[in-house]
């Protein structure tokens, strides 16, 4: 027996060593602190899923491929000497270590309760089991479940006119910030400093699990229009909280800003926020029934988390995340509310090669500067904000 077992010992020893190395040294407290610091200093560019910048993925297979053979000290060092972009070294050393701990845990690593420091040299791949490192993306909307999912009709609907949008009735809220001056102020007077303490819960309506969530519902003539998470658009009776109709887009809806105009509810939608190119849509539903009126792909428009605004008979849409995809940066564009066809585009800065284009490059965002720098073009000093 002992003769047969003996040859296994080296293997067992190797497994013990492998196992000992496969737990990263960091503490749960570091992960918590690292997450907060990441959200404050890094996620605006790298995203909550750590995968918003395709060229600097901090989670997933690509991250492991790029960093696996290096030590955690190198990762901390890289963060400390180059990040946050525009302010390298701007955080305390232990904060960089904590962010590294958060990144390692996000990639599937378990902690062993030992403090990760700038000098810890654990090999990064040692903690990543294959397949563990799937990006933390919001769950996709179930395939096939698109179109009207609850049928109903908004009673007494009258078309929304531009005059109404310009001078909204006190009990309506017809655009993201209430009015074109973006006051976000309701002129209603029933609730006062004297009676606010008597407010009671009238009804509750759940937001769905998963997806992004920064809802800004509209209210028109007693009906509330809500972009719920996961691409679900709903019309509710604002008095009772009862669902009138529901429409599943099959993609995310830009969480800020719906347009109500004439008989339509119009919004921006993109399949996977900031991850795929050529992916932005405008969708118009019949505000009375939720039936789709049109859906168009917006030429060269990517994701945006702001929805359109109606002004002077056109839908005006800004863009986001363009710097991720190309050197030609975002533009503002306008669409026909009747058909969704693009009418014009406007770039707020001249492009390189156009008159006045090159000096203005200095005004590009730090993200863009880095992209340009990496591609071998000139890079520019950071503007002080
Ligand atoms: C203003 C946008 C921005 C911010 C904020 C930012 N980064 Fe970056 N980061 C980038 C860009 C762009 C790159 C790729 C270009 C480069 O490497 O310089 C990058 C690259 C990286 C890399 C290298 C990835 C690789 O595989 O090469 C790491 C690690 C990193 N960032 C971590 C952080 C951390 C940690 C923070 C917060 C403390 C942070 N970043 C904040 C834009 C940003």
Q: Two tokens at 358?
A: 């090159």
Answer yes or no: are the C-beta atoms of 290 and 245 closer than 8 Å: yes
Atom 19 (ligand 1) nearest CA: 56
224 C-alpha vs ligand 1 centroid, how far in Å? 40
42 C-alpha vs ligand 1 centroid, how far in Å? 7
- Where is mean pLDDT largest: 153-162, 210-219, 267-276, 301-310? 153-162
Could you tell me the pLDDT band of residue 373, with boundaries at 50, 70 and 90?
very low
Q: Two tokens at 62?
A: 């690509």
The candidate with the shortest Cα–Cα distance to 217, out of 240, 235, 242, is 235
HEC assignment per residue over the chain: CHHHHHHHHHHHHHHHHHHHHHCECCCHHHHHHHHHHHHHHCHHHHCCCCCCCCCCCCCCHHHHHHHCCCEHHHHHHHHHHHCCCCCCCCCCHHHHHHHHHHHHHHCCCCECCCCCCCCCCCEHHHHCCCCCCCCCCCCCCCCCCCEEEECCCCCCCCCECHHHHHCCCCCCECCCCCCCCCCCCCCCCCCCCCCHHHCCCCCCCCCCCCCCCCCCCEEECCEEEEEECCCEEEEEECCCCCEEEEEECCCEECCECCEEEECEEEEEEECCCCCCCCCEEEEEEECCCCCEEEEEECCCCCCCCECCEEECCEEEECCCCHHHHCCCCCCEEEECCCCCCEEEEECCCCCCCCCCCCHHHHHCCHHHHHHHHHCCCCCCCCCCC
Best residue among 47, 74, 82, 101 to mutate for probing ligand 1, ranked by most atoms within 8 Å of CB? 82
Best residue among 37, 80, 85, 99 to mutate for probing ligand 1, ranked by most atoms within 8 Å of CB? 85
How far from the centroid of its chain's Cα atoms is residue 263's Cα? 29
339 C-alpha vs ligand 1 centroid, how far in Å? 40
CB count, 10 Å around CB of 33? 18
Q: Two tokens at 293?
A: 């009126």
CATH number of the domain at 2-127, please? 1.10.760.10
Q: What predicted TM-score, i.e. pTM, was given to this entire model?
A: 0.54
Written out in words, the top-level CATH class of the domain with range 147-184+204-315+334-343 is: mainly beta
Ligand 1 nearest-atom number relative to CA 100: 35
pLDDT in tens, 86-113: 889 999 999 999 999 999 988 888 777 8
365 C-alpha vs ligand 1 centroid, how far in Å? 13
Best residue among 77, 78, 83, 100 to mutate for probing ligand 1, ranked by most atoms within 8 Å of CB? 83
Instruction: At 223, give phi and psi (nearest 5°).
Output: -110, 135
pLDDT in tens, 150-171: 999 999 999 999 999 999 999 9
Best residue among 31, 38, 46 to mutate for probing ligand 1, ranked by most atoms within 8 Å of CB? 46
pLDDT at residue 326, as a whole number: 66
367 C-alpha vs ligand 1 centroid, how far in Å? 9
pLDDT in tens, 233-242: 999 999 999 9
62 C-alpha vs ligand 1 centroid, how far in Å? 14
d(CA 104, CA 101): 5
Residues with CB under 6 A from ligand 1: 41-42, 44-46, 53, 55-56, 58, 66, 78-79, 82-86, 99, 366-367, 370, 374
pLDDT in tens, 111-144: 778 889 998 888 887 755 433 333 333 333 344 5
Domain extents in the chain: 2-127, 147-184+204-315+334-343
CA 231 to each of CA 105, 125, 138, 283: distance values in angstroms, whole numbers, following the listed order: 29, 36, 12, 11
Q: Two tokens at 276?
A: 């795929």
Ligand 1 nearest-atom number relative to CA 55: 14
User: Average pLDDT in the 12-34 region?
Assistant: 65
Ligand 1 nearest-atom number relative to CA 67: 26
350 C-alpha vs ligand 1 centroid, how far in Å? 27
Ligand 1 nearest-atom number relative to CA 38: 37
Comparing 2-127 with 147-184+204-315+334-343, is the CATH topology the same? no
Backbone Cα Rg of the chain: 26
pLDDT at residue 358, as a whole number: 66
């Amino acid at each position: 027996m002992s003769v047969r077992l003996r040859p296994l010992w080296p293997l067992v020893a190797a497994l013990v060593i492998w196992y000992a190395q496969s737990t990263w040294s960091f503490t749960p407290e570091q992960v918590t602190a690292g997450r907060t610091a990441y959200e404050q200093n890094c996620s605006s560019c790298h995203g909550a899923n750590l995968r918003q910048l395709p060229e600097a993925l901090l989670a997933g297979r690509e991250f492991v491929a790029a960093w696996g053979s290096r030590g955690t000290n190198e990762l901390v060092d890289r963060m400390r000497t180059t990040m946050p972009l525009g302010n390298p070294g701007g955080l305390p050393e232990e904060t960089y270590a904590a962010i590294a701990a958060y990144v390692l845990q996000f990639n599937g690593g378990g902690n062993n309760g030992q403090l990760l420091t700038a000098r810890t040299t654990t090999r990064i791949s040692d903690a990543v089991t294959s397949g563990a490192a799937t990006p933390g993306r919001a769950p996709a909307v179930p395939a096939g479940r698109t179109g009207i999912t609850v049928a109903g009709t908004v009673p007494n609907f009258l078309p929304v006119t531009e005059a109404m949008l310009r001078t909204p009735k006190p009990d309506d809220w017809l655009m993201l910030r209430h009015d074109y001056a973006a006051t976000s102020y309701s002129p209603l007077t029933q609730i006062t400093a004297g009676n606010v303490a008597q407010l009671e819960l009238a009804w509750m309506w759940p937001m769905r699990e998963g997806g992004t969530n920064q809802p800004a519902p509209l209210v028109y003539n007693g009906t509330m229009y809500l972009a719920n998470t996961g691409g679900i658009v709903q019309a509710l009776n604002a008095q009772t909280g009862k669902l009138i109709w529901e429409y599943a887009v099959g993609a995310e809806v830009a969480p800020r800003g719906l347009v109500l105009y004439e008989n339509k509810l119009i919004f921006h939608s993109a399949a996977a926020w900031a991850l795929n190119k050529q992916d932005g849509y405008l969708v118009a539903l019949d505000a009375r029934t939720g039936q789709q009126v049109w859906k168009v792909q917006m030429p060269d428009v990517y994701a945006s988390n702001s929805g359109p605004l109606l002004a002077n008979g056109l839908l005006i849409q800004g863009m986001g995340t363009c710097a991720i995809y190309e050197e030609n940066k975002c533009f503002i564009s306008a669409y026909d509310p009747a058909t969704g066809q693009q009418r014009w585009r406007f770039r707020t800065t001249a492009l390189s090669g156009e008159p006045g284009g090159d000096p203005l490059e200095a005004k590009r965002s730090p993200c863009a500067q880095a992209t340009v720098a990496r591609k071998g073009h000139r890079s520019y000093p950071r503007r002080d904000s």
